[in-house]
């Protein structure tokens, strides 16, 4: 959003947005997460998984979600990763019973509910539509942007079970884009944990609280499904590159650069025109929504 402002103001012509981290081999991610703990460490409370798990547990209590919903997300995204040679989990299929046998990490989350920790990097270049049309590659444009940051510490937060920042960020982005949910061909959702996908899609309005299990059931988000989600495998099954995993996947799908997991006749989906992307930070404390279009 800042980059768009810099382009609009004429301060920059081309902006490179990049991310790279030796998160796995360098141990960087565990250092970042342990520093977040503060006095919570006194009670043995560390990292991001348990913070999201607290939100997810309360959601189970309030509107009856849980592992039966989240397994569709973990298994569905893995099917996309199995089509993507770049994905960490490319050659490791996951069935529903594999999910159910996955060990508890911080209950109610199993290992299969957690994203990967990955070495690697991602980048994309942003410029004006006018300049982009003179370049040799297919153009992907931003139709809508929204951002909402409830920011509250999870101890004080009223939004752990929704609406999260996704509600207002989504409303802003759809308003700017001038479209509705029915116009979206695929979603690339920031998926640090399976629950994050559920609460984000729920707050965008795809289904109501407690309706997630029914919505996901039957392969909705999988190859050939009616609403493909996280078509690279996502943070859960491709690679953890912060918000750039979903955003760059959305761009590459619309450019037609995705090989075997390219949405189209080969996956049993329509060729996408519009893709909805999300990012969030903290324990559901910040949220950004970006709607992309081909051309």
Cα–Cα nearest to 248, from 72, 166, 126, 150: 126
The answer to whether residue 190 is catalytic is: yes
Q: How far is the CB of 55 from other proteins (least distance, A)?
A: 7
Q: Which is nearer to other proteins, 61 or 92 (CB)?
A: 61
Enumerate residues 6+ apart whose C-beta is below 8 A from 25: 119
Pick out residues in 140-179 that bind other proteins (CB under 8 A). 153-156, 160
Work out whether 39 is an interface residue with other proteins (CB under 8 A).
yes
From 19-27, 42-50, 130-138, 209-217, give the range in contact with other proteins by CB under 8 A.
42-50
Q: Judged by CB under 8 A, which of 7, 54, 88, 94 binds other proteins?
A: 54
52, 99, 195, 240: the active-site residue: 240
CB of 235 to other proteins, least distance (A): 19
Residue 100 interacting with other proteins (CB under 8 A): no
How far apart are alpha carbons 97 and 81 in whole angstroms? Answer: 18
Please identify which residue in the block is written with the tokens 């991310």. 19
For residues 252 and 239, what is the distance between their CA atoms, to the nearest angstrom?
15
Q: Residue 63 — φ and ψ, nearest 5°? A: -140, 25
Closer to other proteins by Cβ: residue 151 or 270: 151
| Interaction between residue 32 and other proteins (CB under 8 A) | no
> Least CB distance from residue 11 to other proteins, whole Å?
34
Residue 194 CB: number of other CB atoms within 10 A?
29
Structure tokens at 216: 């996901």
CA distance 20 to 29: 12
Lookup: tokens for 207: 């289904």
Tokens of 220: 């909705």
- Among the candidate windows 15-23, 48-56, 88-96, 250-258, which touches other proteins by CB under 8 A? 48-56
**Rounded to whole angstroms, how far apart are CA atoms 123 and 278?**
16
Q: Which is the catalytic residue, given 52, 99, 190, 195?
A: 190
Per CB under 8 A, the list member of 66, 67, 108, 234 interacting with other proteins is 108
Q: Is 63 a catalytic residue?
A: no
Interaction between residue 91 and other proteins (CB under 8 A)? no
Beta bridge partners of 290: 145, 277
DSSP state of 205: T
Indicate the residue among 103 and 136 with the shorter CB distance to other proteins: 103
Coil, helix or strand at residue 229? strand
Which amino acids are annotated catalytic? Answer: 190, 240
Return residues touching other proteins (CB under 8 A): 34, 37-47, 50, 53-55, 57-58, 60-61, 103-109, 153-156, 160
């Amino acid at each position: 959003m800042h980059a768009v402002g810099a382009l609009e103001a004429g301060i920059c012509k081309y902006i490179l947005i990049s991310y790279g981290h030796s998160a796995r081999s360098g141990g960087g991610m565990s250092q970042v997460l342990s520093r977040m703990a503060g006095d919570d460490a006194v009670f043995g409370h560390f990292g991001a998984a348990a913070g999201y798990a607290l939100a997810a547990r309360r959601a189970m209590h309030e509107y009856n979600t849980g592992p039966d919903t989240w397994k569709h997300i973990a298994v569905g995204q893995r099917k996309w990763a199995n089509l993507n040679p770049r994905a960490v989990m490319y050659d490791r299929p996951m069935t529903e019973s594999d999910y159910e046998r996955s060990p508890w990490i911080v209950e109610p989350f199993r290992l299969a509910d957690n994203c990967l920790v990955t070495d690697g990097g991602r980048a994309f270049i942003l410029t004006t539509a006018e300049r982009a049309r003179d370049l040799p590659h297919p153009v992907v444009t931003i139709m809508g942007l929204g951002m909402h940051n409830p920011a509250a510490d999870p101890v004080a937060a009223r939004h752990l079970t929704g609406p999260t920042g996704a509600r207002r960020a989504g409303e802003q982005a759809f308003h700017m884009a001038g479209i509705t949910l029915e116009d979206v061909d695929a979603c690339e959702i920031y998926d640090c944990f399976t629950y994050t996908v559920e609460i984000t899609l729920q707050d965008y309005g795809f289904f109501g609280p407690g309706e997630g299990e029914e919505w996901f059931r039957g392969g909705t988000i999988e190859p050939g499904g009616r609403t493909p989600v996280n078509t690279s495998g996502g943070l859960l099954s491709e690679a953890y590159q912060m918000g750039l995993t979903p955003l760059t996947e959305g761009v590459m799908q619309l450019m037609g650069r995705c090989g075997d997991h390219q949405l189209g006749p080969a996956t049993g989906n329509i060729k996408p025109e519009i893709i909805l992307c999300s990012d969030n930070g903290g324990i559901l404390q910040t949220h950004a929504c970006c709607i992309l279009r081909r051309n």
